[in-house]
């Protein structure tokens, strides 16, 4: 018994590094998308940026997965795969459009801030999962922090009703494809295989959108650099990390950990883009940090 007690901290560290830590790394990379997109040509539409990011990124994940992705296609879980792929296609179109209409800060806050709520509802309805008080506290602190970031942002565009609705749509789609991927992984498929099959299938919808809207983005050197970075780093690499972490992290915890994304986006907005944050926003960042510690160390 004493040996088991001594081994417990090591098991907790291993569990954190192979699960929540990977989700946090992915979220940090996602937080660079808004800053990167700000360097795109002024006439590039948010639809083209979103379609290029996850369209090309989906093909990259499919290439990384190789044959294992096609094993997923033949596994008899077509329903989950189709639902996840459609959610993958909806997410970037809704998310980037939300940021364009409501501002980067507000669009990110609505999309990521509402994700834990959608995740809790989905897991409760579909899986019968009961969420504990620690998760509720961490999610509450994180959402409050996001609201403070929004209130303290001095350079954001006005939040419109359409932008907020698109943010909610993006949030729901993010939760749906995360849940679908996690469920498929827990049925025996590898994380790379699932992410490759799901995002590769989603790219079949996104690439035609890019063909119609991507002219201004893909016809300039700066647009190509932005599209390449978004597809390879916050899309390709980040979703490999996210998929690996999702094998050992529930959807509700993973979506709460992803609230690190708007924190990174806010800091980069200050350091790189030149935007300014007020005292309330910095307090919000601190609250999110506390929430992330609580949920990531949950046993």
Residue 274 reports pLDDT greater than 50:
yes
Q: Which pLDDT tens digit goes with each residue over 176-210? A: 998 898 888 888 888 888 989 999 999 999 999 99
- d(C-alpha 194, C-alpha 264), whole Å: 27
SS3 295: helix
Structural domain containing residue 221: 44-296
27 domain residue, yes or no:
no
Q: What is the pLDDT of residue 295?
A: 64
How many angstroms separate the Cα of 137 from the Cα of each of 108, 109, 129, 130? 21, 18, 17, 14
SS3 277: strand
Listing DSSP states for 2-38 in one string gives HHHHHHHHHHHHHHHHHTHHHHHHHHHHHTTHHHHHT
Q: What is the pLDDT of residue 206?
A: 94
Residue 294 reports pLDDT greater than 80:
no
29 domain residue, yes or no:
no
1 domain residue, yes or no:
no
Q: What is the pLDDT of residue 72?
A: 83
233 domain residue, yes or no:
yes
Listing DSSP states for 116-180 in one string gives HHHHHHHHHHHH-PPP-HHHHHHHHHHHHHHHHHHHHBSSPPPPPHHHHHHHHHHHHHHHHHHHH
191 vs 128, residue with greater confidence: 191
Average the pLDDT over each of 13-17, 58-62, 233-237, 265-269 and give the range with the smallest value: 13-17
- d(C-alpha 241, C-alpha 233), whole Å: 11
203 domain residue, yes or no:
yes
Q: Which pLDDT tens digit goes with each residue over 21-57? A: 888 899 899 888 888 888 888 888 989 999 999 999 9
- d(C-alpha 158, C-alpha 86), whole Å: 29
33 domain residue, yes or no:
no
Contact in structure between 53 and 231 (CB atoms under 8 Å): yes
Tokens of 105: 């800060």
85 domain residue, yes or no:
yes
Output the CA angle 70-73-74, nearest 5 degrees.
95
Dihedral of CA atoms 102, 108, 112, 118 in degrees, nearest 10, equals 10
- d(C-alpha 25, C-alpha 14), whole Å: 16
- Total domains present in the chain: 1
112 vs 42, residue with greater confidence: 42
19 domain residue, yes or no:
no
Tokens of 83: 């639902």
Residue 285 reports pLDDT greater than 80:
no
**What's the pTM?**
0.78
């Amino acid at each position: 018994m004493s040996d088991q007690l001594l081994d417990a901290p090591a098991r907790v560290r291993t569990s954190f590094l192979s699960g929540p830590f990977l989700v946090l790394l992915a979220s940090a990379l996602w937080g660079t998308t808004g800053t990167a997109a700000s360097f795109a040509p002024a006439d590039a539409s948010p639809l083209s940026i979103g379609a290029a990011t996850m369209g090309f990124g989906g093909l990259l994940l499919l290439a990384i997965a190789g044959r294992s992705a096609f094993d997923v296609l033949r596994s008899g879980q077509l329903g989950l795969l189709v639902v996840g792929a459609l959610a993958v296609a909806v997410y970037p179109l809704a998310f980037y459009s939300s940021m364009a209409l409501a501002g980067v800060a507000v669009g990110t806050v609505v999309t990521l801030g509402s994700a834990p709520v959608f995740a809790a509802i989905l897991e409760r309805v579909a899986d019968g999962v009961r969420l504990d008080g620690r998760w509720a506290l961490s999610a509450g602190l994180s959402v409050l922090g996001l609201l403070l970031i929004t209130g303290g942002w001095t350079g954001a565009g006005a939040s419109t009703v359409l932008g907020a609705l698109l943010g909610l749509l993006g949030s729901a789609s993010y939760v749906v494809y995360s849940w679908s991927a996690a469920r498929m992984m827990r049925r025996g498929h590898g994380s790379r295989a699932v992410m490759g099959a799901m995002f590769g299938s989603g790219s079949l919808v996104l690439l035609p959108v890019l063909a119609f809207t991507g002219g201004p983005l893909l016809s300039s050197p700066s647009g190509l650099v932005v599209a390449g970075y978004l597809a390879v780093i916050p899309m390709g690499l980040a979703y490999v990390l996210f998929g690996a972490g999702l094998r050992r992290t529930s959807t509700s915890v993973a979506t709460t950990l992803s609230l690190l994304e708007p924190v990174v986006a806010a800091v980069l907005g200050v350091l790189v883009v030149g935007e300014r944050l007020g005292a309330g926003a910095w307090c919000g960042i601190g609250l999110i940090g506390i929430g992330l510690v609580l949920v990531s160390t949950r046993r």
